[in-house]
Amino acid sequence: MVELADLKTVGQPNWCPGCGNFPIWHSLKKAIVELNLKTHNVAIFSGIGCSSKMPHWVNTYGFHSIHGRPLPIATGARLANNSLTVVAVGGDGDGYGIGVGHFVHAMRRNLNIAYIVTNNQVYGLTTGQTSPTSDKGYATKSTPTGVIEMPINPIALAIASGATYISRGFSKEMKHLTKLIVDGVRHNGFALVDVLQPCVTFNRKNTYKWFSERVYKLEETNHDTTNKQAAFLKSLEWNDHIPIGLFYKEIRPTYEDELQQIAETPLARQKIEDINIGTLMTEFE
């Protein structure tokens, strides 16, 4: 049995007091415990940002990489060893900004990866510039007169891109978030858990209070999570009412499922000594 204590590492998170990343971190650990995963069979991949430091504080295999690239790295690792439980974590700048290309492609591939995006609608680590999800008009250091563009809608993007588990959590709703992560990791396919993560230092608008007044749980409505159109309509809700929970879920073969070469033994565990290329060489005669 895995316990929370097993997930402790030498360090402690250095996020700002009250940072919305703490509850996400706790929820991830709780999910690992609840799923009773062997710590050495879990690998957590992240990019760069405040939130991307998370792998250092969860005692599993980890890869804290470069800005925007956790998904390709996780993809390579998952394809190299499809017995691993692969989780990716990163900020909205990381995933929806610099890494948005990978985000879209990872979803259409439907790899068995759970991707948690700590969406604080600003760039935290670089001290509060606008992010791809900042609300229109929001003023930051890099947009002193307010953001001109429309924000990216990650849920709608995920629906359009073919992700098979699409959800949104809220840092303040830890139990709810833990369940989303548990189900996302359990889901055989690409699972997005976008998390409303208040940045207490740089986001003066989208605060705990702001969200608390607006969020409601999809489970408490009659939302049909198998209905893509309904999910899309729900994804458009913002400002007055913000849905959290599972938007959409679908069972579709994963990318890995279609690869017969890893059906029995993961690549990383295949023998590479004495590979016979005799016949292959003959083909060049």
Partner 1 sequence: MGVGGLSWKIGGGAGYGIMTTGFIFSKVCSRAGLHVFDHIEYPSLIRGGHNTYQVIAKVEEVFSHLKKVDLLVALNRETIDRHEDELVLGGAILYDGDKISLIEEDLGRKDVRLYNVPLLRLAEESGGRRIMMNSVALGASVALIGFDFARISSVMRDVFQGKARDTIDFNIKAAKLGYDYVKCKAIEKDFRRELPEVDGKKRMLLTGNEAVGLGAVKAGCKFYSAYPMTPSSSILHFMAAQERSFGMVVKHTEDEIAAINMAIGAGFAGARAMTATSGGGFSLMSEALGLAAITETPIVVVVCQRPGPSTGLPTRTEQGDLKFILHASQGDFPRFVIAPGDVEECFYRTIEAFNLAEKYQCPVILLLDKYLSESHKTAEKFEVSEIKIERGSLLNDEELEKIGEFKRYEFTETGISPRAIPSQEGGIFTATGNEHDETGYLSEDKTVRTRMMDKRFRKFEQAKKEVPEPELFGPQDAEVTIIAWGSTKGPIKEAIRLLAHDEIRTNFLQIVYLNPFPADIISRTIDTSKKTVVVENNKTAQLANLIREKTGKEVEHKILKYDGRQFFPTEICQMIREVMYNG
CA atoms 63, 66, 68, 74: torsion sign: negative
Site for ligand TPP in 209-238 (CB under 6 A): none
* Chosen residue from 12, 36, 239, 261 binding partner 1 by CB under 8 A: 261
DSSP one-letter string for 206-261: S-HHHHHTTEEEGGGTT--TT-HHHHHHHHT--TT-EEEEEEEE-----TGGG-GG
3-state secondary structure string across 28-45: HHHHHHHHCCCHHHEEEE
Q: CB-based contacts of 284: which residues, under 8 Å, 6+ apart?
A: none
Report the C-alpha gap between 285 and 190 in whole angstroms.
44
* Chosen residue from 15, 90, 93, 102 binding partner 1 by CB under 8 A: 102
DSSP one-letter string for 127-138: TSEE-TTSPTT-
Build a one-symbol-per-residue string for 64-93: x at contacts with partner 1 by CB under 8 A, - elsewhere. xxx--x--xxxxxxxxxx-xx---------
By a kind-dependent CB cut-off of 5 to 8 A, residue 50 interacts, out of partner 1, ligand TPP, none, with ligand TPP
Number of residues that bind ligand TPP (CB under 6 A): 17
Site for ligand TPP in 69-108 (CB under 6 A): 90-94
Q: Which of these segments, 43-51, 134-142, 200-208, 244-252, binds partner 1 (CB under 8 A)? A: 43-51
DSSP 62: E
What's the closest the beta carbon of residue 124 comes to ligand TPP, in angstroms?
Answer: 3
Number of residues that bind partner 1 (CB under 8 A): 57
DSSP 187: S
Report the C-alpha gap between 63 and 54 in whole angstroms.
10
Neighbours of 136 (CB within 10 A): 10
Report the C-alpha gap between 247 and 164 in whole angstroms.
10
By a kind-dependent CB cut-off of 5 to 8 A, residue 280 interacts, out of partner 1, ligand TPP, none, with partner 1
Q: Whose Cβ is closer to ligand TPP: residue 95's or residue 189's?
A: 95
Site for partner 1 in 182-201 (CB under 8 A): none
Q: Is 16 a residue that touches partner 1 (CB under 8 A)?
A: no
Q: Is 168 a residue that touches partner 1 (CB under 8 A)?
A: no
By a kind-dependent CB cut-off of 5 to 8 A, residue 62 interacts, out of ligand TPP, partner 1, none, with partner 1
List interacting residues with ligand TPP (CB under 6 A): 48-51, 67, 90-94, 118, 120, 123-126, 131
